[in-house]
Amino acid sequence: MQFAVPNRRHFVRTLNAHVQRKPRRFFIGASFFLALLLVIVLYLLVKKEPYVVVDALTESVIYRVRRPQLAAVPLENALVRGHVENCSLFSAADESSNFTGIVTPSVGSIVTYRFTPSKVSIEINGGDYSGGNLTSDDGVICALPQSISFVADINNFVRRPLPLVGPADIGREMSVPESTAVLQRSGRDFMFGGTVQVFGRAVAPPFRGDLYPSSSNSFPLPAGGRVSSGDSLSAKQKDSGAPAFYGVVSVDSQSFKVSASTVSKKLKLYRSGMSGEKEVFGLGMLALVFSDPSVIFITVFIASFSFSMQLLKTLHDIAKKNFENSEPGDSGEMAQPVKDVPPNEH
């Protein structure tokens, strides 16, 4: 017991010397470490692109094909506008024919969907190359020309929506009317509005990779504009590598209903007027950082660490004070009271 007390006293003195020797350097180092940790987390958040879901009502959708097999469209008795050469499915004398089968656009080709109250138009433009191929129910395959379109009854697309698999433009900017003839026909490429929802992915354990909604995860889409992933969507130009939309284009009462997702930080909204004015949605760090559960977890860790350090420092100060008050001369034992000695009678 007498051996343990000096050792404990020596440990307290050593600990106190380490803590109070250079407090400024200690706090600067701790602050630098915490700041570096925060910068790393923010960098990982900026590096990871958010997951975006777009819902919109529009009369037109145009996109560049990235995955031809997913872009295939089944048609029934669709009117073919364009000449398909060397194909036994059509007669060379017919200027217009009907087709039943599957249309598969080629990779890189531009596909345009247009809505009317009774018909759906599908245009395919392959630029300098074939736009894809046709496959009949009998297994006959024919190559498409560079440009062709199909017009089918709208009821054919009620049960099965049209695919959207590539960089896309949803809608077209509303422009100045050319004449009163616009009142006599259905709208052209008009977007009636919609929403954009943003989701992030956690960057640190224990939530790494999990999707979460951002603190401001919903943006309204105003009518009359255009949502774009940033590709030129020109059949004459190569794929720019812009983020692709993946989803469906279904038939609604007055337009197409688009529901698609993409992974992008630079989704663009072109305002009405055909003036090229655009807005870029803030889908980066500020929209995600304060919603990431990893950041919340790290914040709780830092708060707990700070509280624990403060508690240990307080306990250390109390222990130090008690030891200083209890030592009379480094003997380690309490002073014993002096007994009264009776006076000498002699």
Rounded CA gap, 273 and 188, in Å?
14
For 313-324, the pLDDT digits (tens) are 677 677 767 766
For 118-165, the pLDDT digits (tens) are 999 999 999 999 999 999 999 999 999 999 999 999 998 988 999 999
The reported pLDDT for the residue numbered 1 is 44
Burial label for 119, CB within 10 Å (0-12, 13-18, 19+), is middle
Listed range (163-172, 210-219, 246-255, 281-290) with the worst mean pLDDT? 281-290
Q: What is the DSSP letter of 199?
A: E
Rounded CA gap, 40 and 176, in Å?
49
Beta strands in the chain (DSSP E): 51-58, 60-64, 73-81, 96-105, 110-115, 119-125, 132-136, 141-143, 147-153, 162-166, 168-170, 191-201, 211-221, 226-228, 245-251, 256-263, 268-270, 278-280
User: What percentage of the chain reaches a pLDDT higher than 90?
Assistant: 37
Residue 60, amino acid: S
Nearest of 174, 171, 213 to residue 56 by alpha carbon = 171
Q: Report yes or no: 132 and 108 within 8 Å, Cβ to Cβ.
A: no
The reported pLDDT for the residue numbered 2 is 47
Rounded CA gap, 246 and 195, in Å?
16
Residue 70's pLDDT band (boundaries 50, 70, 90)?
A: very high
**Residue 36 CB coordination number (10 Å):** 10
Summary mean pLDDT of the chain: 78
The reported pLDDT for the residue numbered 90 is 81
Residue 185's pLDDT band (boundaries 50, 70, 90)?
A: low
Tell me what the mean pLDDT of segment 81-100 comes to. Answer: 80
Tell me what the mean pLDDT of segment 289-307 comes to. Answer: 60
The reported pLDDT for the residue numbered 170 is 96
Q: Strands 110-115, 278-280: parallel, antiparallel or unpaired by DSSP?
A: unpaired
Query: Which whole-number Å values give the CA distances from 66 to 69, 233, 234, 269, 270, in the listed order?
Result: 9, 12, 14, 22, 23
The reported pLDDT for the residue numbered 218 is 78
List own/partner pairs for 210-217 with CB under 8 A and 24 or more apart. Answer: 210/293, 211/51, 212/291, 212/292, 212/293, 213/291, 214/50, 214/287, 214/288, 214/291, 215/287, 215/290, 215/291, 216/287, 217/287, 217/291
Burial label for 200, CB within 10 Å (0-12, 13-18, 19+), is buried
Listed range (40-54, 99-113, 242-256) with the worst mean pLDDT? 40-54
Rounded CA gap, 285 and 296, in Å?
15
With a cut of 70, say whether residue 4 has pLDDT above it.
no
Tell me what the mean pLDDT of segment 80-90 comes to. Answer: 87
Domain locations in the chain as residue ranges: 51-175+184-294
